[in-house]
Amino acid sequence: IGGVSATLQALLRDRMELPAGMVRTDLQVTVSTPQPENDQQAAESPQANLFLYRATENGALKNQMIPGQGHPSEYGHPPLSLGLHYLLTAYGATDDNGLVNETRAHFLLGSAMRVLHDYPVITENLMTVNSPPIQILHDSLRGEFEQVKVTLDPISLEDLSKVWTALTRPYRLSAAYTVSVVQIESRRIKTLATPVLTRRIHLSVSKRPQISNV
């Protein structure tokens, strides 16, 4: 789960476009609970935040072992297959003669959504472009059978509002995403089917049937 969060954080930090006058070191990409509103000042630091608010089990893979791993006769204790639900929120309001201007925050939100739209599947071949080339996919997710797939979650405004209400935060423009499938392998010992030790062949010999009477 942490590997997915670190991967999304690295992808946004590397690929997001920035408003005029900003440099990449000004942008913060955080993985945390949405920050509380600051009543003391209107200006905010430019930031894109990922908040993991829900993890659900993938029912289709509940009883399926990971293909190509382990002994073919093993059974029992398949991996836990999860879908991770994130809330993407952008900050960056400016003080416009005493009034709050959220244009920069909206720009950052659109930029982050564009990145997740352009890279719906994060593979091991995806490398950084704004730093020395390194793999964006976290170490814990490399070599896995299931790939990291990102989709925009079309949840209703009511469901979004419930998340903000539970956080006791004023509602803020956000986008919901689902990342699947993340598999966590069980540590319990798997069972091997009992091997066949003796083969017995029973053979009965009979004459070919013939028609003796019609």
Each residue's pLDDT tens digit, 157-211: 999 999 999 999 888 899 999 999 888 887 777 666 677 788 888 888 888 888 8
pLDDT of residue 131: 75
- On average, the pLDDT of the chain sits at 86
Three-class SS of residue 20? Answer: coil
Reduced to 3 states (helix: H, G, I; strand: E, B; else coil), residue 157 is: helix
Between 71 and 118, residue with greater pLDDT: 118
Is residue 25 pLDDT above 80, yes or no? yes
Average pLDDT for residues 119-148, to the nearest whole number?
88
Torsion angle in degrees (nearest 10) through CA of 56, 60, 64, 67: -100
